[in-house]
Amino acid sequence: MEVVVVGGGRMGEALVGGLLATASIPPEEIGVVEVSAARRDALAARFPDLQLSPVVELAAAASGAVVAVKPPDASGAVGSLASLERPPARVLSIAAGVRLAALEAASRGTFPVLRAMPNLAAVVGASATGLAASGREEDLSWAEGVLAALGTVTRVPEKLLDAVTALAGSGPAYLFLVAEAMVEGGVLAGLPREAASQLVRQTFLGSARLLVETGESPEGLRGAVTSPAGTTAAGLRVLEGRAVRAAFVDAIDAAAARAGELGGPVSHEPGRS
Ligand SMILES: NC(=O)c1ccc[n+]([C@@H]2O[C@H](COP(=O)([O-])OP(=O)(O)OC[C@H]3O[C@@H](n4cnc5c(N)ncnc54)[C@H](OP(=O)(O)O)[C@@H]3O)[C@@H](O)[C@H]2O)c1
């Protein structure tokens, strides 16, 4: 098989859905190992052609396996793949905070191990995923091809995955907080809550599309809607006066520090970037 996903939860399902939707891999080449019978039933109902199994043998001799179980289960899942008589050619973990050193110890040198950090937008195929850029190019290319089903992929040295976690992993939560606050502002300005909510959702979508599709810098786009002595300038003066910019910088710094504490030290073996 081309890809076997170990753990058919929210992220595993998003990955399978993305791989099938992009049609990059035929359905019979995609498998899911899932211990929960209820989850297997749900996956079978949504993806009738999918190969499903409660046991890891499904991944025998696969081109690659993706470990998408909860972080405390990730090393165990890698260990059971390493115990196969014919192990997969490579294993990619998306478990948050589980370092390559721990995954490599669990693999006992049986296969190359890769590590990536997607974000919640993977469920709509719009993840901003960081991929630890260490290992052989053929393994990284395989991982990139699989992760493309979830959204964009940015290669970074493993030591910067904590920063990816702080920025892109936690990022949606920061933006949801901004969205909540903007709805409240709209209500204060007199809009019915439902209308304010609809306007905020579309403002987020439109702003994201402008950022991505025009390739303009955030500064350039902000300048384009800030006319001299206008309404946007009046609003921005309040945000800058309350140090919102500095608060975001500090929030991402604090989240990166917390990711570092939770994950433990990053290995600095020779050859690791
Ligand atoms: N959700 C996100 O936004 C997000 C973002 C970035 C990274 N991640 C990472 O993605 C991973 C998966 O997250 P999730 O939200 O999809 O978790 P989840 O919904 O709990 O899915 C994990 C699934 O794997 C099953 N499982 C556990 N051990 C297994 C094993 N040895 N073999 C086969 N199946 C096994 C679990 O069954 P039981 O429940 O019965 O144990 C569960 O159904 C996590 O490590 C998380 O850190 C998630």
**Chain segment 18-55, per-residue pLDDT in tens:** 999 887 788 889 999 999 999 999 999 999 989 999 99
Phi/psi zone of residue 44: left (φ > 0), alpha (ψ -120 to 50 degrees), beta? alpha
Looking from the CA of 94 toward its CB, the CA atoms found within 13 Å total 31
**Cβ(34) to ligand 1 under 6 A?**
yes
Phi, psi dihedral angles at 60 (to 5 degrees): -60, 130
Phi, psi dihedral angles at 33 (to 5 degrees): -100, 120
Q: How far is the CA of 221 from the centre of ligand 1 (A)?
A: 38
pLDDT of residue 267: 61
Q: How far is the CA of 13 from the centre of ligand 1 (A)?
A: 10
Minimum CA distance residue for ligand 1 atom 15: 10
Nearest to 155 by CA among 137, 173, 132: 132
The answer to pTM > 0.85 is yes
Domains and CATH numbers, the chain: 3-161 (3.40.50.720), 171-242 (1.10.3730.10)
**Cβ(245) to ligand 1 under 6 A?**
no
Atom of ligand 1 nearest to the CA of 76: 31
Q: How far is the CA of 11 from the centre of ligand 1 (A)?
A: 7
Quick one: CA torsion of 127, 132, 134, 138, rounded to 10 degrees?
-20
Question: In a structure prediction context, what are the per-residue pLDDT tens digits for the chain, which is 273 residues long?
Answer: 999 999 999 999 999 999 998 877 888 899 999 999 999 999 999 999 899 999 999 999 999 999 999 999 999 999 999 999 999 999 999 999 999 999 999 999 999 999 999 999 999 999 999 999 999 999 999 999 999 999 999 999 999 999 999 999 999 999 999 999 999 999 999 999 999 999 999 999 999 999 999 999 999 999 999 999 999 999 999 999 999 999 999 999 999 999 999 887 776 544 333
Atom of ligand 1 nearest to the CA of 123: 3
**Cβ(68) to ligand 1 under 6 A?**
yes
**Chain segment 93-127, per-residue pLDDT in tens:** 999 999 999 999 999 999 999 999 999 999 999 99
**Cβ(79) to ligand 1 under 6 A?**
no
Angle at 65 between CA 64 and CA 69, to 5 degrees: 165
